[in-house]
Amino acid sequence: MNKFINVVVGYDEREAVAYHTCIESIISNSSNHINITPLCLKHFKKYRENHTDGSNEFIYSRFLVPYLFNFKGWAIYIDGDMVCLDDIKKLWDLRDNKFAIQVVKHEYKTKMTKKYFGNKNENYPRKNWSSVILWNCEHEDNKCLTPEFVSKKSGAFLHRFNWLNDDQIGEIDKTWNWLAIEYDDNPKAKLIHYTLGTPCFDKFYDTSMSYHWKRFFKKMLTGIETKIKL
């Protein structure tokens, strides 16, 4: 049995600092060996991004995680604009073979019409469900997720997981994808998602739960984790 936890993290070079801060938070809190893969578009040889409505570089490539693992085993996918406050093994241990995927099933209306880089922030069904995914890579119904398939399907089709039946989508507790600003501050959050913008952007530097991001950013730079609010 593979002793490593497979973690795939979305990478966009325009906010590379967010990716590296996220990785620091995962490593700092992990009790297990982890295999971290940056989901970087330029690393793909057989996939070219044809969609034109993406707010970041990993908005559609996330659906190729089962393909990256040769449709075997399991993997965790998370957006790069997050920090992990708990042991990622606890999320890994939620794997259930009866599901093709497991996600946090958000039901909310956004508080802001625009997010980082001035991108539109629209409401739509199953918004942010795909930002944290426990992938059952070898599930038969995920084997359609080839580069050709993903490149041809619409954003609505992919982000709503329309290739699956609803009973194949398991649910994870909301603390594993806690939306900063959109939700109230939560001291019990395990994985904070700065979906509107990470604190690396001036506009979001002092917003909800930004302290957690800044302390892991400082640790990444200095090796020292502060408990004092920055």
- Nearest CA among 150, 3, 216, 194 for reference residue 89: 3
pLDDT at site 54: 58
Which of 183, 205, 179, 212 has the alpha carbon at shortest distance from 193?
A: 179
Q: What is the pLDDT along the chain (230 residues), one digit of tens a residue?
A: 468 999 999 998 888 999 999 999 999 999 999 999 999 888 888 877 776 665 667 889 999 999 999 999 999 999 999 999 999 999 999 999 999 999 999 999 888 766 766 567 778 799 999 999 999 999 999 999 999 999 999 989 999 999 999 999 999 999 999 999 999 999 999 999 999 999 999 999 999 999 999 999 999 999 877 664 55
Strand 132-136 vs strand 74-78: parallel, antiparallel, or unpaired? antiparallel
* Residue 70 identity (one-letter amino acid): N
Enter the tokens of residue 19. Answer: 């990716």
The ranges assigned to domains in the chain are 5-222
Tokens of 188: 């019990």
CA distance 160 to 171: 14
Evaluate whether 199 touches 213 at the Cβ level (below 8 Å). yes
For the 5-222 domain, the top CATH level (class) is: alpha beta
* Residue 33: φ, ψ to 5°: -65, 135
